Amino acid sequence: MNKTRTQGQARDGARSGALRLLAAVDDGATLDEAGALTDRLAPAERARARRLALEVLRRADRVDLLLAPMLARRPRPEIMRILRLAAVEMLALGEAPHGAVNAAVALARASGRKGQAAAGMVNAVLRKIAGAAEAWARLSPQKMPFWLRAPVVAAWGEDAARAIEAAHEAGAALDLTPKGADCPGEALPTGSHRLPAGTRVSALPGYAAGDWWVQDAAAALAVRVLDPQPGERVADLCAAPGGKTLQLAAAGAEVTAVDISEPRLARVAENLARCGLQARLVAADALDWRPDQPLDAVLLDAPCSATGTIRRHPELPRIRDGAGLAELTGLQARLIDHALDLLKPGGRLVYATCSLLPAEGEDQLAAVLARHPGLVVEPPRAPGVEPDWITPQGGLRLRPDLWPERGGMDGFFIARLRKSAERT
């Protein structure tokens, strides 16, 4: 009995933590920024709180459609969050209705005088929701916001947009990049290894020894397309959190990792040390940094909208509205031009963004080719790259709906560019 009570208390702590995270998102924070709100929870509760918040964010609009006819008027935000959480627990996560409903009522009563007044409504509505499994199954995954959906539909069509939305709801697995041969998980065609979402990273074999690091399979392709060689002088611009720096170093390149954030570079240093790899770390604005001699290659994973990572960060469509895209694409163009200027004649640049927006991918490639007539696009050659991922220009367009049978991948655009061998 005591064990059951303890488990119930842990679940209630995780639910309260999830509600705090969801409130922070409503106020414009990312889940990472809000993480300190769950610091007082035990590690297992903290992890569960984040998982619950993620699942609610992936389905909030879908839940709201189901709740709307059951509500005489829209309740206060804190009560709406409780209703969403309980509905997702029952309809998407298989939680027993009596446990989810009772917990929701208790959370409402604990939220203050107005919450106490709403407890009866919460109980009545959620009992109806518990029997709405068929109606829930008929609802489509929640749509991307218009500012993102419109360009996605224009680029790839309505069916692709719906498939991407389904991938966003399904979430993301845990992908690892191996340093050598030993790595847990299912081996993917591109060389990454995949484990189920929620796998405890630090408990996996090889973590302490630095045999691998966490990195989405799509992100890992940028370095594989660059194909660094031992002894080559390579810069990783905008390097943090450092997965690509680790790949470059593991390939034997002489790597300089440049990032504007010293704290984020400190994390890169920690991962390099864990994996027994070396790179020169430079805290600087990538636009201001120059090497002492021209480089063989540059990897530019440019600042972007991060719309390709929504399956991992479902809060992004709720806290961003597409504003500032013109500023971002302008910065990307300046970074590309600067990166090309750092290369020796015949050197190569890989430009990458974790974005679904053609403005940050295909359009940038077309623009840089127009600005630099001697530049050549080299089609991506890397294990596991499928022909229909390659754009007519020769870039690599990755989307969350690819590999549906394997669990998808992040959205990315990657292009490999070769500078003219003639000195200008």
Residues acting as catalytic residues? 354
What is the C-alpha separation between 253 and 190, in angstroms, rounded? 20
Residue 290 neighbours by CB under 8 Å, 6+ apart = 342
What is the C-alpha separation between 18 and 52, in angstroms, rounded? 6
Give which of 77, 171, 89 is closest to 129, Cα–Cα. Answer: 89
Q: What's the first-to-final CA gap in the chain, in angstroms?
A: 79
What 3 state SS string does the chain have? CHHHHHHHHHHHHHHHHHHHHHHHHHCCCCCCCCHHHHCCCCHHHHHHHHHHHHHHHHHHHHHHHHHHHHCCCCCCHHHHHHHHHHHHHHHCCCCCHHHHHHHHHHHHHCCCHHHHHHHHHHHHHHHHHHCCHHHHHHCCCCCCCHHHHHHHHHHHCHHHHHHHHHHHHHCCCEEEEECCCCCCCEECCCCCEEECCCCCHHHCCCCCCCCEEECCHHHHHHHHHHCCCCCCEEEEECCCCCHHHHHHHHCCCEEEEEECCHHHHHHHHHHHHHHCCCCEEEECCCCCCCCCCCEEEEEEECCCCCHHHCCCCCCHHHHCCCCCHHHHHHHHHHHHHHHHHCEEEEEEEEEEECCCCHHHCHHHHHHHHHHCCCCEECCCCCCCCCHHHECCCCCEEECCCCCCCCCCCCCEEEEEEECCCCCC
